[in-house]
């Protein structure tokens, strides 16, 4: 399970950061997950629930911020944020090309004490 190893790495990062800041408890973790990152947010949440017990994050909540990918339409010239890969513009049917974003998988923020 891909998400389990990703979450293991994220938890290590969070705990290292907490330790460096002299914190003993982690209350909240926020992650940014791009629409094209190949990561299933629900699987990430499940991995978090599995991994957090017995750690300083045992009582923590995980928030996942979904980041859309931006597609550019050659037909109407619009930039459209989309949650999945589309080939035709939903507005004019023109061809879409990926303009950026959507591949994020990162720790955005955390609350510790």
Report the interface residues with Zn ion, using CB under 5 A. 73, 75-76, 89, 91-92, 94
Distance of CA 50 to the CA centre of its chain: 18
Work out how close the CB of 89 gets to Zn ion at its nearest, in angstroms, rounded to a whole number.
Answer: 3
Write phi, then psi, for 20 (nearest 5 degrees). -65, -30
Nearer to Zn ion, 38 or 81 (CB): 81
Work out how close the CB of 97 gets to Zn ion at its nearest, in angstroms, rounded to a whole number.
Answer: 11
Work out how close the CB of 73 gets to Zn ion at its nearest, in angstroms, rounded to a whole number.
Answer: 3
- 58 secondary structure, DSSP code: T
Work out how close the CB of 77 gets to Zn ion at its nearest, in angstroms, rounded to a whole number.
Answer: 7
Terminal CA-to-CA distance of the chain, rounded, Å? Answer: 31
Strands (DSSP E) along 1-104, which ranges?
A: 26-34, 61-67, 69-73, 79-82, 96-100
Distance of CA 54 to the CA centre of its chain: 24
Nearest-CB residue to Zn ion?
Answer: 89
């Amino acid at each position: 399970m891909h998400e389990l190893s990703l979450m293991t790495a994220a938890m290590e990062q969070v705990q290292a950061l907490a330790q460096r800041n002299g914190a003993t408890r982690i209350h909240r973790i926020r992650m940014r997950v791009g629409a094209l990152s190949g990561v299933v947010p629900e699987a990430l949440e499940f991995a978090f629930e599995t991994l957090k017990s017995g750690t300083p994050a045992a009582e923590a909540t995980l928030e996942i911020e979904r980041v859309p990918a931006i597609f550019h339409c050659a037909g109407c010239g619009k930039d459209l944020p989309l949650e999945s890969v589309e080939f035709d513009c939903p507005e004019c049917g023109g061809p879409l090309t990926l303009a950026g974003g959507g591949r994020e998988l990162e720790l955005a923020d955390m609350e510790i004490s």
